[in-house]
Amino acid sequence: MSVVAELLARHLDRLRDEAELSPKSIETYSDTIKAVRKRFVGIRVHEATPGLLSEILRGIQRDHGDTRARHTRGLLKAVFTDCVLAGAIDANPVLQLGRQKRRTPAKGAPAVDQDAMIRAYKRVTTSGYCRRTDLRDLVLFLMGTGARISETLGVRWTDVDLDAAEVTFAGRVMRVTGVGLIRQEGLKNHAPSRTVALPPFLVAALKHRRETAASDTWVFPSTTGGLRDVNNCSKQWRQVRDRFGLTGVSSHSWRRTAATVIDEAGLSARVGADQLGHTRASMTADVYWRRNGVHSEAAQAIEAVVTRRLSDENKRNRPTSGQTKTDASER
């Protein structure tokens, strides 16, 4: 009878051979098995009772965190399913485990309110630092679409239709150990693509960017014209966000902010799910509502916040010039 540690290693080899998962997923599972394998050394399949597995998973959760424990549980489920199919055991012990609770509440990037959204818009568009680091259009894109940053960096000019004011997301940029940056086809929810409408302020920014494009392929390329690294972009943003009064706001905050704007505009959960690329809004929406729509009203809602608030502030401040000046502190 095989021991569980060996079966986990074999399962990983099979995942590599089947090549159905992304390189990043394979890397994640490989790291998980390396971290937890010693806990299963010497344990044979028939000895892996629900009680023993539950105890081991609690230890992994305590020592390595919720995510590592969740990944381990998924791998064990697959391994023991194979054992059941092979007739080695009668039932999968992982299926008899209760729901695993998080040790700590899940934390996510905070959404920003409308005041902060407008402040970010004005500071980003007038910042010398954002211009030099090519953050301006990137932040506007995240703000205007609610897209994941990995999806955004994977957008090609062929994915953008400025006449129709639409963009199609069809891949993600990720770094794979030993390989470097790659663009993985498909999206996080396993959908091949998703098309969303663009608000007018973003269309204008992209039209100008297209005229001065540094790359014929990538909308947001690196300084050398290739793929741009997600972590580097995030680091650049962290270096300036405090000066903008946006402490704690990450690239994912614009995703949550877009969802909030859509909700406050009275649009449906299905509109939000289609805009953000979520698999489910609810069972009813999945079964009965139209899926994968391109919702111009989502782009209009985001545009309304920016243009309305800017218009109100301009009226109050009565600017003497129609042009904004670059902040001296950001030059």
pLDDT of residue 48: 93
pLDDT above 80: residue 115:
yes
Which tokens is 288 given? 């009965």
Q: Is 80 left (phi over 0), alpha (psi -120 to 50) or beta?
A: alpha
Q: What is the mean pLDDT of residues 88-95?
A: 93
pLDDT above 60: residue 331:
no
For the chain, domain boundaries? 4-96, 114-330
Rounded Cα gap, residues 65 and 312, in angstroms: 47
pLDDT of residue 134: 95
**Which tens digit of pLDDT belongs to each residue from 15-49?**
888 877 778 888 889 999 999 999 998 999 999 99
**Which tens digit of pLDDT belongs to each residue from 288-315?**
334 556 778 889 888 888 888 888 888 8
> What is the sign, positive or negative, of the torsion defined by CA atoms of 240, 242, 246, 250?
positive
Domains 4-96 and 114-330 share a fold: no
Contact of 80 with 45, CB cutoff 8 Å: yes
Q: What is the mean pLDDT of residues 261-283?
A: 75
Q: What is the mean pLDDT of residues 163-176?
A: 94
Instruction: Read off the pTM.
Output: 0.68
Q: Which architecture, in CATH terms, is 4-96?
A: Orthogonal Bundle (1.10)
In CATH, which superfamily holds the domain spanning 114-330?
Intergrase catalytic core (1.10.443.10)
Contact of 171 with 182, CB cutoff 8 Å: no
pLDDT of residue 13: 92
Backbone angles phi, psi at 102, to 5 degrees: -70, 145
pLDDT of residue 104: 56
Angle ∠(117,327,204) on CA atoms, nearest 5: 55
Average pLDDT over the chain reads: 86
pLDDT of residue 283: 30
Rounded Cα gap, residues 180 and 185, in angstroms: 16
